[in-house]
Chains A and B, each alone.
Chain A
Amino acid sequence: MSIIYVGGIRPKNNRRTRARPQTNALAPSLLTLSLPKWANLQAFPVVQVEESVLRGQLIAATDDPRLVPLHAPISGTIVQITETTITIRSDGQAKQHPACVPCELPIGEMTDEELLDLIEAAGVPTSGSDCLSLAEQIRRERGKVHTLLLCAIEDEPCGGLCSQLMERLTEEVLDGLRIALRLYGSRRGTVLLGSDQIGALNAVSEALADQSLIRYQKVTPIYPISHPRNLILSLFSKEQKRGMTFADTGYAVFSPDTLLALYEAVAMGLPMTERTVMLDGDLLKEPLAVRVPIGMPIGTLLSEEMIRIHRPFSLSEGHGSLSARPITQDFTVTKSTCTILVNHSVKQRTEELTRFYSFTNTHPDAQACIGCGKCMRVCPSELDIPAILWQLAEGRTEKAAKLGSEFCLHCGCCEYVCPAGIAVREQLLSLQAICRLPSPFASEWEAEHAPFDAVRADTSSNPAQHNEPSCTDRQENSAISRTPGEESDTSDAEVGEEIEESKEETEEKVCRKQPSAPMPTRRYRLRRKLPGSADSTGQRDPDERRNGT
């Protein structure tokens, strides 16, 4: 089988694979957990203020099977319950809830439904999401999928969580894959590893020495090969056509952390209350894998890990530096957090200091395009980006909308190579918002639910909510986790003022460009001064919704 990479870049590899062995973070005295929320669904608390909870105890439940329930990561007392968060004060004793014990029956004797119930009760989310239930995904996709892919490829210049998990917890992750294979009824499982992940490759090849059901494959890590859509396109030449769900392609892609959580839920009976997070970046001497309770603020984590930083720094969160988005110290670890980057502050950017900086361009103007076409050559969706930008610069949004911008993976390859430094992702997201482009793919999460149509009509201008969450797609899902209710998590202190200013600006523009017809005919130039692509949409959405209704 040959791999045909479509587009993609190979940034200079700065990954430092020699991380310190995984450590457990001390539980902080105060934890703030945000309630799982997706579109108009939200989990509700099942505990009262002043009530004492144990580690692993259910604190928020849902009526809807699509959402995950939430469990207490520490033992202590509930001190505050707001509409979106629950705050717990630790009592210092890590008392486990009595229900968190392995199931008495061996896994082989349990039925699929019992296993799925276990996974559902444990609150394991789908890969890349922090609120959508994995059990529900398996139930919906069962039968359609013939091959499970465990994608542990590290294609970004830093990060390394997948390597860490594959190397140190090989058996656990592979057991998770075996359980998933059984639940899906799939015939094949493939572990995909980057060709430079030597340690993980050795561990996996040893573990799979006498296996025929699961095999492993080496892949040259051309970014964004770990994106599910790009992965199956490169490996199997399989496209997710318009109107298809991801499972319709016959493949399901998992990340190691999801399978690890699945294994822990089934074999050890543990609800998902902790997560391994990588700390990396310019300002750290070596990368660090830490197992942290969910809900832990990043600021506390940094001070606990004795990371003293005496200079301005910026924080970003994502899988690696290319797909990272800026966060603040108040950001709390969610069920989908992978890598936290601690970099020099943006203000101090120089060539040497940007090794791990997320290559997010901020040039707002499509008119700066010089038409070199480099973006086109690296685009994994093979979009004609110069043509789109040119039409946008001329104000012809309808023509630009016909060039397939809704298939953008938001990988940022184009921004990485753009000599003019244009924020292409932001431009494309704006285009989707202006023209109200629907997601090209069918969303199996919304299809059968009539109440959603009302929501979709309401938020149809919001590109983030149109993305399909069931697809194990970290970019799209990170966009989903930015539903307006969670704004506090995603705002960036460094650019806060700028955003406030431009928010009003945008609000005006949004007012103007709210058309009665689906396509605006007004000449509209995309000129905004927002720092990052994803951020700006996140900021614009509430305004747009308010003005639209």
Chain B
Amino acid sequence: MTTGRLKTHPLQRNMTLPVLSADYLIAAFPLLLFSCWQNGARALLLVLTSALCAMLWEAVAEGLLRRRITVWDGSAACDGVLFALLLPITVPFWLIPLSTLVMILLFKVLWGGQGKCPVHPAIGAYALLYPFFRVVLTSYAAPMERLPAFSAQPIGSVSQTVLEQLASGTFPTEQMVGKMFIGDLPGCMGQLSLILLIGAFLYLWMRGHIPPLLLPSSLLSALVTFILLPGQIIVSDAMAINYVALQLGCGSLVYLSVFLSSHPTCAPHTVRAQMIFGIGVGVITGLLRYFGCFADGAVYAVLIMQLATPLLDRLFRPRHYAQT
């Protein structure tokens, strides 16, 4: 008379690709709404354009390559939305078709479709475009600044992000940490409010899409790295805490860990490999911020670890039944 212990999470329902994509869109929707509330309807327009462009490019590319058209499984729309949320709200509209073309063609269709490319298309496209459009991709709008919905040119007051401020010597304060949780700091459209991101994480976890240990392991390892390698002269304990909290919560590390690095098509398969993956992301982010030329190197950290994912999968392949 015993009750059993489950080694794995029991899945309760039949999951399909459209359901997967829809869950991601549902999880991303509050972030988008918050961005709209902060800076106006431009966020919505950007994200919609990105999703539609991604779907269009995928249909065109697959049609030209005589592949099965997979637009209606929602993965292209999902990729478009997740990519757009990585951008600051001030990006000009002409960048969207270009970047989605790069994303869909180079990082998705040419590799054979969803899940075939070693990196997530949004990560790949962002990492490729960042050196070209560095200024455009890092001009964040100030919080609660109304932006015109339509404008082809880069707009808004270009405000420094918290990470840039920290790098240039501003002292971290408690107010900044509080603002970080609520979402009152400049940042990319996806990572404005930490609370909403945690909600999205919980939603996706409960739906069984993302591994629970990837985000904590990457945050913990990043924390250790920031404690060991502070980029600033720390004068008090409170300041150290604020500094580490801001380094963890600003930038795009949490957004990437929730939505992109733990995406089912890109994350490693076994729990141990996922933890190694998360630790790698955290450590590389810390190193890039300390030694590298980036204020926020999280995208490149995720890129590097995703390239290592097939290797991790092979290293941590589970012992199958009756294997000697």
Q: Does A1 contact B (CB under 8 A)?
A: yes
* Residue-wise interface mask of B (10-38) relative to A, using a CB-CB cutoff of 8 A (1 in contact, 0 not): 11111111011000000000000000000
The 8 Å CB contact of A3, one of B4, B15, B115, B323, is: B4
The 8 Å CB contact of A217, one of B2, B7, B319, B322, is: B2
The 8 Å CB contact of B320, one of A4, A11, A383, is: A383
Residue of A233, A380, A420 contacting most chain B CB atoms (<10 Å): A420
Q: Say yes or no: B318 contacts A376, CB within 8 Å.
A: yes
For B318, give the chain A residue with the smallest CB separation. Answer: A382
B316 vs chain A, min Cβ distance (A)? 10
CA–CA, A300 to B321, complex, Å? 43
A166 vs chain B, min Cβ distance (A)? 17
CA–CA, A371 to B2, complex, Å? 36
For B5, what are the chain A residues with a Cβ–Cβ distance below 8 Å?
2-5
Q: Which 7 A-B pairs have the closest CB atoms?
A: A370-B115, A373-B269, A372-B264, A381-B321, A3-B4, A10-B10, A371-B115
Residues of B within 8 A of A (CB-CB), count: 41
Q: Say yes or no: B264 contacts A7, CB within 8 Å.
A: no
* Residue-wise interface mask of A (415-436) relative to B, using a CB-CB cutoff of 8 A (1 in contact, 0 not): 0111111000000000000000
Q: Say yes or no: A374 contacts B13, CB within 8 Å.
A: no
CA–CA, A241 to B3, complex, Å? 27
Given contact pairs A220-B4, A370-B17, A403 touches B320 in the complex (Cβ within 8 A): yes
Q: Say yes or no: A240 contacts B7, CB within 8 Å.
A: no
Q: Say yes or no: B12 contacts A240, CB within 8 Å.
A: no
The 8 Å CB contact of B1, one of A218, A369, A417, is: A218
A-B contact pairs, 16 of them (CB 8 A): A2-B4, A11-B13, A218-B3, A222-B4, A222-B10, A241-B322, A370-B115, A373-B268, A373-B270, A377-B8, A377-B269, A384-B317, A384-B320, A404-B320, A407-B320, A419-B20
A343 vs chain B, min Cβ distance (A)? 15
For A376, what are the chain B residues with a Cβ–Cβ distance below 8 Å?
269-270, 318
How many CB-defined contacts (below 8 Å) exist between A and B? Answer: 127
Q: Say yes or no: B320 contacts A419, CB within 8 Å.
A: no
Q: Does A443 contact B (CB under 8 A)?
A: no
CA–CA, A381 to B8, complex, Å? 13
Q: Which of A1-18 contact B (CB under 8 A)?
A: 1-12
The 8 Å CB contact of B14, one of A369, A378, A403, A416, is: A416
For A419, what are the chain B residues with a Cβ–Cβ distance below 8 Å?
15-17, 19-20, 264
For B134, what are the chain A residues with a Cβ–Cβ distance below 8 Å?
none
Q: Does A239 contact B (CB under 8 A)?
A: yes
Q: Does A386 contact B (CB under 8 A)?
A: yes
Q: Say yes or no: A382 contacts B264, CB within 8 Å.
A: no
CA–CA, A384 to B313, complex, Å? 9
CA–CA, A218 to B19, complex, Å? 35
The 8 Å CB contact of A8, one of B8, B13, B14, is: B8
CA–CA, A404 to B267, complex, Å? 23
The 8 Å CB contact of A242, one of B4, B114, B265, B322, is: B322
Q: Say yes or no: B321 contacts A239, CB within 8 Å.
A: yes
Q: Does A30 contact B (CB under 8 A)?
A: no
The 8 Å CB contact of B265, one of A9, A371, A383, is: A371
Given contact pairs A12-B13, A359-B14, A4 touches B7 in the complex (Cβ within 8 A): yes
Q: Does B112 contact A (CB under 8 A)?
A: yes
Q: Does B324 contact A (CB under 8 A)?
A: yes
For B317, what are the chain A residues with a Cβ–Cβ distance below 8 Å?
384, 387
B125 vs chain A, min Cβ distance (A)? 18
For A7, what are the chain B residues with a Cβ–Cβ distance below 8 Å?
7-8
B127 vs chain A, min Cβ distance (A)? 20
For B20, give the chain A residue with the smallest CB separation. Answer: A419
Q: Say yes or no: A220 contacts B3, CB within 8 Å.
A: yes
For the complex with contacts A220-B4, A222-B10, A384-B318, 4 further pairs of A-B residues with Cβ separation under 8 Å are A7-B8, A8-B10, A370-B113, A376-B269
CA–CA, A420 to B11, complex, Å? 16
Q: Does A345 contact B (CB under 8 A)?
A: no
* Residue-wise interface mask of A (356-390) relative to B, using a CB-CB cutoff of 8 A (1 in contact, 0 not): 00010000000101111110111011111011000
CA–CA, A327 to B268, complex, Å? 40
Q: Say yes or no: A6 contacts B7, CB within 8 Å.
A: yes
Q: Does B66 contact A (CB under 8 A)?
A: no
Q: Say yes or no: A378 contacts B8, CB within 8 Å.
A: yes
The 8 Å CB contact of A219, one of B4, B12, B116, B208, is: B4
Q: Which of B101-121 contact A (CB under 8 A)?
A: 112-116
For A371, give the chain B residue with the smallest CB separation. Answer: B115
For B1, what are the chain A residues with a Cβ–Cβ distance below 8 Å?
217-218
B2 vs chain A, min Cβ distance (A)? 6
Q: Say yes or no: B319 contacts A382, CB within 8 Å.
A: yes
Q: Say yes or no: A440 contacts B264, CB within 8 Å.
A: no
For A374, what are the chain B residues with a Cβ–Cβ distance below 8 Å?
11, 15, 208, 264
Given contact pairs A370-B114, A381-B320, A5 touches B269 in the complex (Cβ within 8 A): no
The 8 Å CB contact of A372, one of B115, B270, B320, is: B115
For B9, what are the chain A residues with a Cβ–Cβ distance below 8 Å?
377
For A384, what are the chain B residues with a Cβ–Cβ distance below 8 Å?
269, 313, 317-318, 320
CA–CA, A486 to B54, complex, Å? 52
Q: Does A80 contact B (CB under 8 A)?
A: no
The 8 Å CB contact of A420, one of B3, B17, B321, is: B17
B140 vs chain A, min Cβ distance (A)? 33
For A378, what are the chain B residues with a Cβ–Cβ distance below 8 Å?
8, 11
CA–CA, A8 to B321, complex, Å? 14
CA–CA, A378 to B12, complex, Å? 12
For A217, what are the chain B residues with a Cβ–Cβ distance below 8 Å?
1-2
* Residue-wise interface mask of A (217-240) relative to B, using a CB-CB cutoff of 8 A (1 in contact, 0 not): 111101000000100011000011
Q: Say yes or no: A233 contacts B8, CB within 8 Å.
A: no
A413 vs chain B, min Cβ distance (A)? 9
Q: Does B6 contact A (CB under 8 A)?
A: yes
The 8 Å CB contact of B8, one of A5, A369, A372, is: A5
Q: Which of B224-253 contact A (CB under 8 A)?
A: none
B248 vs chain A, min Cβ distance (A)? 27
Q: Does A195 contact B (CB under 8 A)?
A: yes
The 8 Å CB contact of B2, one of A1, A6, A240, A372, is: A1
For A6, what are the chain B residues with a Cβ–Cβ distance below 8 Å?
7-8
For A377, what are the chain B residues with a Cβ–Cβ distance below 8 Å?
8-9, 269
The 8 Å CB contact of B115, one of A9, A369, A417, is: A369
For B117, give the chain A residue with the smallest CB separation. Answer: A371
CA–CA, A217 to B4, complex, Å? 11
B200 vs chain A, min Cβ distance (A)? 18
CA–CA, A381 to B322, complex, Å? 8
CA–CA, A440 to B323, complex, Å? 11
B9 vs chain A, min Cβ distance (A)? 7
For B269, give the chain A residue with the smallest CB separation. Answer: A373
